Amino acid sequence: MESSKNRGLEVLLHVVFFISGTTTVLIGQVLPILSTGFGLNDLQAGYFFPAQFGGSILGTLTTNWFGKRNNFVLAAVLGCVLMAAGVTAMTLSSFAGCLAGFFVNGLGVGLTLPSINMLILEMNPRRSASALSILNFCWGLGAIVCKPFVDATSTRTSILLTSLFLAVPLLIGASLIRLLPRESHLPAPTAEIRAPDIKPVAIWATGLAWTIAFFNFVHVGFESGMGGWMTTYADRVHGEPVTTLFSPTFLFFLFFVAGRGVAPVFLRYLDENKVLFLDLITMLIGMLIILMAGNLVWLSIGASITGFGTSSVFPTNLSRFTRTFGPSATRRATPLFICGTLGATAVTWVIGFVSNQAGSLNSAMFALLVCVILLLVLQIVLTLRSSNTKLKDS
């Protein structure tokens, strides 16, 4: 049974995850400011994404080292410190220094997000999907306040105050996690004796594991493309910077949070595959509206629908992974997270590249429509695979 000390740690991890949500999507909200300040085109602005996600990949790989030693808590502490350093470095006056800031921030994100996901997952093995949805609901709350937070604390040319308001609570959070009295909250690796985990090394020798990982590659790429470029895209559609509270970016994350909040309810009545199909169809409808939108009203409607649709895809897919290979598969989930980060890097960069080549960000956003279609195809494949497995077992 979980101790009171562990419950305190779990609450604190949710708070840190909230702050991490803001720092993760900060790149998209400050992109127009930095592009103006450094005089960047879309291709050059797109370099910020590989910088952050490159750091995130390294952070995720480092998380694997901590995971093998059952020390996800230390990984989360280090991640918070690095995020604080990264957002501070983003205020440097040189383009190279700013890029380095995004890299360090990404390193912190890569350590923090998978570590906290794994901690919560192992604390709640019997309700993994709903527990992860609640956790990522907190991440979404941080993401949703990011746009108005940046608007309130930044100027057309400076994000200094924005960075300080993030760095200080991150350092405080790191200190509290490190100093919080706690009992051992992770099960020992030898305690897992369930059948799916008898041969742990076989997980990444299966095509099913890599199909789930590729699904994560495409979906995280889609989410990152939306979160990273929506503010810039809305400014282009509107013809000037959008500073109203209910901007398309704000609404995207608002409905993203709402979807995370109601996902546990849907999961009580529908299995994971049905929930994922509903999510993907909703995302498809939203993307079509976004691409055809000629004003902020329709763009906001499309962003809202898309945000609601994509909200529970990541936690549900992660739950599918652990349900397929067993709870202890969390310690070998590094390739799953790396694929997600690689997807984020690829899709966000492709959008900037296509926009610069075609001279149209609208044309580049069609890459996100391609992502949704590919996700639908992958979901059909995974559903058929699941159905065939059930037939063989019956």
pLDDT, one tens digit per residue, over 170-204 is: 999 999 888 875 554 444 444 444 444 444 547 88
Least confident segment among 80-89, 252-261, 367-376: 252-261
Task: Establish if 193 belongs to a structural domain.
Answer: no
**Strand, helix or coil for residue 227:** helix
Task: Establish if 23 belongs to a structural domain.
Answer: yes
Question: Among candidates 16, 10, 8, which has minimal Cα distance to 175?
Answer: 16
Task: Give residue-wise pLDDT tens across range 44-73.
Answer: 999 999 999 999 889 988 987 887 777 888
Task: Establish if 191 belongs to a structural domain.
Answer: no
Per-residue pLDDT averaged across 303-307, rounded? 97
Taking every pair of Cα atoms in the chain, the longest distance, rounded to a whole number of angstroms, is 64
CA 238 to chain centre: 27
**Total structural domains in the chain?**
1
Q: Which residues contact 250 (CB under 8 A, 6 or more apart)?
A: 144, 147, 148
pLDDT at residue number 6: 66
Q: What CATH number corresponds to the domain at position 16?
A: 1.20.1250.20
Question: Which long-range contacts does 203-208 make (Cβ < 8 Å, 24+ apart)?
Answer: 203/325, 203/329, 203/332, 204/332, 204/335, 208/324, 208/382, 208/385
Q: What range does the domain containing 154 cover?
A: 4-183+199-393
Task: Give residue-wise pLDDT tens across range 99-150.
Answer: 999 999 999 998 999 888 887 877 777 777 777 778 877 888 898 899 999 9
Q: Is the pLDDT of residue 1 over 50?
A: no
Which letter, b or e, does each residue of 363-386 get, where b requires 16 or more Cβ atoms within 10 Å of its Cβ? ebbebbbebbebbbebbeebbeeb
Task: Establish if 188 belongs to a structural domain.
Answer: no
Which tokens belong to 192?
A: 């897992």
Task: Establish if 156 belongs to a structural domain.
Answer: yes
Per-residue pLDDT averaged across 269-283, rounded? 92
First to last CA, the chain: 34
Task: Establish if 194 belongs to a structural domain.
Answer: no
Residue type, 238: H
pTM given for the model: 0.82
Q: What is the C-alpha separation between 275 and 270, in angstroms, rounded?
A: 6
Give the chain's mean pLDDT: 87
Question: Among candidates 323, 178, 358, 253, which has minimal Cα distance to 350?
Answer: 358
Least confident segment among 38-52, 213-227, 328-342: 328-342
pLDDT at residue number 285: 98
Share above pLDDT 90 across residues of the chain, in percent, rounded to a whole number: 58
